[in-house]
Each structure stands twice: as structure tokens, then as C-alpha cells.
Amino acid sequence: MKNTVFLFFVLVLSSCNSLLLRMNGMRNPEKPVALEEVISFAQSIGIDTSRILFWTSSDAKAKFWRKFNYIPDLYVFDSNGNWLPYRDNAACNAAGFSLAKEFCNYTFSSPDSSEQVEYYLSNLRKSDSSVVTSILPPGKSYTILIAWGRFLGPVAKEHLPKWQEDLLQNKDCVFQHYFVCFDRIKRQQ
């Protein structure tokens, strides 16, 4: 009987993403939030707020989302700006934990030159509107974009601080990491 009830709910609710998101403490990603709320949330979970980036172009945000449609997740680019896939696209972000922990010794897939970090960075700004560039020495150096949003609630609390802590333990390579916010920010009047 329990299996029948469970199967019924799975079939009925499988398209109810908003209900499933709400059950996991997530909020509506399209609901605008104040910049200060995002910064405050990031501080409350221990994220380095000087590394938070916000989108300035909805086209670039949409392009990023179409290509890398998992959140939260880590997106790694080499010193030439090429994207380095670290897992099968069909897999969940659980591999992000091992990537963050063993980052400098991680074996990446072949670089994808169709996605360049400079394109994304040119469409991102810090909270004070300053520009970010990826200036890294050649060789074993990386830019890491960590996609996240305040709307993720408990999921952000579980993933982001751990990824940040594990990344900072890596000392055998050069990298810069940023938290790319996918919250919809309220425009100031």
C-alpha cells in the first residue's frame, strides 16, 4: 500500500518543481531580492563577500545558464580561459565536493575552447560595480566560477562554505574563485 501511495505522489508531483523546491527550503529564483539581502545571507553562511559577482547582462546570464544549467556547481576555466569539464553533464553536483577537496591534483576532461571565461567575467561585477579580470600566470592556474543563489537556502548553506573551505586548502596550484550570484537583484530607485 505504501508503495502505491508513493508511486501515485511521484507521478502526480513529478512536474511540481516549485513544491519540491519549497519542501527543500528553496525560494522562487525569479523573485527580486535586495543586494543587501544577498550579501547578508552570504556573510551568514561564511562566504567571502568580496568574491561575489553579479550579472550585468541578462543575455550573458542566459547563455551561461543554457550551457551550465546546474546550481550550485563549480565551473573551472584554465589559464587560457577554456572551460574544463570535471564531470559528466548528466551527473549531479556531488562531484563538486571531491573537485574542491583535490582541486590541484584533479584530472579534468579535455578543455572546451567554445566557452571562454573572459566573456562571462566581462558581464559580471562585484557589489561595488568594480570589474573582475582573469589575469593568471600560464601553466597550472585556474579561474573557478561557483554558481549559487540566496534562493537555494539550505542547499547553499551545505555546499558553498564547504567548497570554499576545501578550495582554500589547495596550495599546489594558482587559482582565483568567485561566487556568481543567480538571484534576481532589485533595481534601486
Does residue 18 belong to any structural domain of this protein? yes
What is the reported pLDDT for 69? 78
Which residue type occupies 81?
Answer: G
Same domain, residue pair 37 and 24: no
Radius of gyration of the chain (CA): 18
The range of the structural domain enclosing residue 19 comes to: 1-29
Contact by Cβ (8 Å): 182, 147:
yes
114 and 79 in one domain?
A: yes
Q: Are residues 90 and 21 in the same domain?
A: no
- The reply to whether the predicted model has a pTM over 0.85 is no
22 with 64, same domain: the answer is no
Select from 154, 82, 153, 148 the least CA-distant residue to 118: 82
Query: In this structure, are residues 81 and 117 in contact, taking their beta carbons and an 8 Å threshold?
Result: yes
Handedness of CA 178, 182, 186, 22 (dihedral sign): negative
Provide the domain count of the chain: 2
Domain membership flag for residue 189: no
pLDDT at residue number 26: 46
Same domain, 18 and 69: no
Q: Are residues 17 and 38 in the same domain?
A: no
Examine the domain organization and report whether 42 and 15 are in the same domain.
Answer: no
Same domain, residue pair 2 and 72: no
Which helix (H) or strand (E) segment holds residue 97: the answer is: helix 95-101
Has residue 188 been placed in a domain?
Answer: no
Residue 186, in any domain of the structure: no
Q: pLDDT tens digits for 22-48? A: 444 445 566 788 999 999 999 999 999
Q: Are residues 109 and 167 in the same domain?
A: yes
| Residues 3 and 68 placed together within one structural domain of the fold | no
Q: Extract the residue ranges of the chain whose pLDDT is less than 70.
A: 1-30, 88-91, 188-189
| 112, β-bridge pairs | 83
- Domain-located, residue 74: yes
